[in-house]
Chains A and B, each alone.
Chain A
Amino acid sequence: MVLLILAATGLAGASALAPAGPGVLDGAGILEKSQAAFYYPGADMSARVVMDLITAEGRKRTRVLTMMRKNLPDGWRQRYFLYFHEPGDVRRTAFLVWKHPDRDDERWIFIPAVNMTRRIAARDSRSSFVGSDFSYEDVSGRNLAADAHTLLREEKLGEAVCFVVQSTPKTAADFSRKLAWIDKATFLPLREEYYDTRNQLARVFTADRVETAGGGKAAYPTVMKRTMKNVQNGHRTEVVFETVGYDLGLEADLFTERFLQQPPQKWVR
């Protein structure tokens, strides 16, 4: 039987960022627990991800990738490794991301056709992640301090009782506010609505399937299927975790140039 650990308890650095009164969670405190549950569960994670980009007319483009992530012991720093299996013209292409919450991330790309590793400019975290409706921030988390968070209410979304938290960017961004429905039990976001600068609904995130998952030593509540829909043009991106594992003991060396060129077979099969 797998061991279920409540995700929010796993993060040592969480309390340092936005202390809330004991037993009372404000908007920022909820968002912090939510980020911990959504982006940080376990010491590390590996997932095989199928991403379908679907136009309003129903035309579909598919990306298949392996995503690996490791939390660093201090604070909210993380390392990400993304390895593409499909489509064929980007097969074996790999990204390495060193995520720094307080400054620009560092990103490298490995282009297999010419065996080249390059650092790439990574300023705009709002830009599209590999052409999908998700931004880089949607994939790896947005700096909590960049927004002001307000708990609006609690309400039921389906069976789940949720906090509804509004986040407003402190400096100009491509969205004016975000509403998030956060499951009180798991702290996973079940629905998010992004409003554009004219306060029109622009994008909607939905957690379509949540399971306690993980093939390794541990399992955590995981969004196994999610959708980001651009409600203004009808385009959407569906992301399915085919497999997911936590606390696998991913070595720190995995997140270096060496493994960009030739990732260990067992992780990217």
Chain B
Amino acid sequence: MRWGALCLLLLWPGCAPGEVQFHGFVMGNVAVRTTGERPPHGEGGVFVLGEERLRLDVSGATATGRMLFLAKGDLFHDAVSNRVEGDVREAYAGFRGGPLDLRLGRQIVTWGVGDLFFVNDVFPKDWESFFSGRPMEYLKRGVDAARVQYSSRPVNLDLIATPFFRADALPSPRRFLLYDPFAGVASREERKPPARAANTEVALRVSRRAAGFDLSFYGYRGFWRTPAVAASGDGGAPSAVQFYPRLVVWGASAQRNWLAGVISLEAGRYDSRDDRRGANPPIPNSEWRMLAGYQRQLAADLTANVQVYSEVVDRPPRSGAANPDRFRGIASFRLTQFVAYQNWRLSVFLAYSPTADDFFAQPEIWRRLTNRFSVAAGANIFSGRRETPFFGRMRKSDNVYVTARMDL
């Protein structure tokens, strides 16, 4: 009876119990700020994060695999703000026919070859999650989109149309100590691009294999996912407006085996459509983003990944611009060691920017205790002498975190 109701609910043709799978987990996450400072008007005292999550994951497919669905959602209690909330991580229906795959609904899309550096992956991210120690999967937010993939030997096409804009979730001043140029402004307004046909974001990837390379070309038409902030308020009380300027991105990536490792190259052209001449300070100027990476196994169960990432802005930004530096470079290093039959994982991610002179480190220890139960502990460490765009401005928000997960 329950199954029948579920099938009806999903309008699922040919649904049989054996073809629907239920999974999930329960997870606890706690992160504590170690700098002793507390954000003004913040919440949670020294706690950046304190939550319990229940993940439910339902998926199914017809016997032929032509039709499928997946729904993943979290119900969680945020102990810091004492709220119970829900989060639809993914929920889509899919169809497969011949060389075509169609998916409609909320889905997570990850493109490009970078490790935590995103050039052509223009899809929304949750940096607050990442910097407060939630597992990596929470860095990505789903998009409510229609996706069409065409696969063939000469070329693969991947087209994603998103009518509903989702911004990046940035560390909030309620949980992180952030420099805020509009701190004195009480009134803030966020203007998201309205859901209109003309505002539909379109992302395209064309990929194929050539000379041992995985080659991809990318295009995106949509909006910057981090807001521009402008002062407004005509005569009356000062107020600030957060808005998302238009953006077009073109880029390419290549990845192949090289010198007993894997080399990754990626570049993207960010065309800031609302301010192509760089005349409007709050709007980011057009820029190039480039990434080169090399990953190699140093020994059994020990892997290293080195990356160099850079952003080159077209014009020297004017004073008051969103990004003060014209050239930004960051070098990163990741080391991952599995120990004891992969029941332990020790990893560290280090990033240093010589141009901004700021630094970020994320060491983590993960341990699998049983088939279903695992724990992790780590830290987010920031440093920088000035209020640099990324790591420096987080320098008072160092935290340590603990995660425990039990699969259902």
Chain A residues in the interface with B (C-beta under 8 A) = 53, 61-62, 86-89, 91, 104, 106, 113-116, 118-124, 126-128, 130-133, 174, 235, 253, 256-258, 262, 264-266
**B342 contacts A115, C-beta separation under 8 Å:** no
Known A-B contacts A53-B341, A88-B25; A114 and B137 likewise in contact (beta carbons under 8 Å):
yes
**A119 contacts B341, C-beta separation under 8 Å:** no
B301 CB contacts on chain A under 8 angstroms: 127-128
Known A-B contacts A113-B136, A124-B299; A118 and B343 likewise in contact (beta carbons under 8 Å):
no
Chain B proximity of A39: nearest CB distance (Å) = 21
A265 CB contacts on chain B under 8 angstroms: 19, 61-65, 68
**B257 contacts A106, C-beta separation under 8 Å:** yes
**B151 contacts A118, C-beta separation under 8 Å:** no
Chain B proximity of A264: nearest CB distance (Å) = 5
Given contacts A115-B109, A121-B261, A258-B156, 7 further A-B contacts (CB under 8 A): A89-B405, A91-B23, A113-B136, A114-B136, A114-B140, A264-B65, A266-B65
Cα A91 to Cα B371 in complex, Å, equals 12
**B372 contacts A87, C-beta separation under 8 Å:** yes
**B110 contacts A128, C-beta separation under 8 Å:** no
> What are 27 of the A-B contact pairs (CB < 8 Å)?
A87-B371, A87-B407, A89-B405, A91-B23, A106-B257, A113-B135, A115-B110, A119-B113, A119-B214, A121-B297, A121-B303, A123-B260, A123-B297, A127-B300, A127-B301, A128-B300, A128-B301, A131-B338, A131-B342, A257-B156, A257-B207, A258-B149, A258-B156, A265-B19, A265-B61, A265-B64, A265-B65
Contact of B371 among A61, A114, A122 (CB under 8 A): A61
B108 CB contacts on chain A under 8 angstroms: 113-115
Kindly state whether residue B94 has any CB partner on chain A within 8 Å.
yes
Kindly state whether residue B192 has any CB partner on chain A within 8 Å.
no
Known A-B contacts A104-B260, A131-B343, A265-B61; A113 and B137 likewise in contact (beta carbons under 8 Å):
yes
B295 CB contacts on chain A under 8 angstroms: 120-121
Contact of A266 among B23, B63, B94 (CB under 8 A): B63
B303 CB contacts on chain A under 8 angstroms: 121
A-B Cβ contacts below 8 A, count: 111
Chain A proximity of B84: nearest CB distance (Å) = 23
**A123 contacts B101, C-beta separation under 8 Å:** no
**B297 contacts A61, C-beta separation under 8 Å:** no
Interface size on B, residues (CB 8 A): 54
Kindly state whether residue B255 has any CB partner on chain A within 8 Å.
yes
**B297 contacts A128, C-beta separation under 8 Å:** no
Chain A proximity of B210: nearest CB distance (Å) = 14
Contact indicator per residue, chain B 67-101, by CB within 8 Å of chain A (1) or not (0): 01000000000000000000000000010100001
Kindly state whether residue B296 has any CB partner on chain A within 8 Å.
yes
Cα A130 to Cα B19 in complex, Å, equals 27
A88 CB contacts on chain B under 8 angstroms: 23, 25, 372, 407-408
Cα A5 to Cα B361 in complex, Å, equals 57
Chain B proximity of A108: nearest CB distance (Å) = 8
**B296 contacts A115, C-beta separation under 8 Å:** no
Cα A87 to Cα B405 in complex, Å, equals 12
Chain A proximity of B207: nearest CB distance (Å) = 8
B139 CB contacts on chain A under 8 angstroms: 114
**B342 contacts A130, C-beta separation under 8 Å:** yes
**B61 contacts A120, C-beta separation under 8 Å:** no
Kindly state whether residue B256 has any CB partner on chain A within 8 Å.
yes
Cα A114 to Cα B408 in complex, Å, equals 20
**A61 contacts B343, C-beta separation under 8 Å:** yes
Kindly state whether residue B120 has any CB partner on chain A within 8 Å.
no
B101 CB contacts on chain A under 8 angstroms: 258, 262
Cα A91 to Cα B57 in complex, Å, equals 11
**B255 contacts A119, C-beta separation under 8 Å:** yes
Known A-B contacts A53-B341, A128-B301; A89 and B374 likewise in contact (beta carbons under 8 Å):
yes
